[in-house]
């Protein structure tokens, strides 16, 4: 039986929501091993002068803690 754990992370990027998601996974990977999946729970953006200046994601990352 595998035991999985889910953590929630918020990340942001000036490029895109995809880049923000990659940053969340990369950051989590520094301290968490065995990442299996990422679920994008929420997306938002910051607008300034009629332009998006920051993309934000709230993600759930699933990783294995016991095989």
* Band of residue 2 on the pLDDT scale cut at 50, 70, 90: confident
List pLDDT tens digits, range 24-61. Answer: 999 999 999 999 999 999 999 999 999 999 999 999 99
User: What's 53's domain CATH number?
Assistant: 3.30.1660.10
What mean pLDDT comes out for the span 12-20? 98
- Domain count across the chain: 1
Range of the domain at 53: 3-66
What mean pLDDT comes out for the span 1-17? 96
3-state secondary structure 4-67: EEEEEEEEEECCCHHHHHHHHHHHHHCCCCCEEEEEEEEEEEEEECCEEEEEEEEEEEEEEEEC
Cα distance between residue 40 and residue 59, in whole Å: 4
């Amino acid at each position: 039986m595998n035991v999985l754990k889910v953590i929630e992370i918020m990340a942001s990027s000036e490029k895109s929501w995809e880049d923000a998601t990659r940053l969340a996974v990369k950051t989590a990977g520094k301290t968490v091993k065995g990442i299996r999946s990422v679920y994008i729970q929420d997306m938002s953006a910051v607008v300034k002068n009629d332009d998006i200046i920051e993309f934000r994601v709230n993600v759930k990352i699933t990783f294995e803690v016991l095989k």
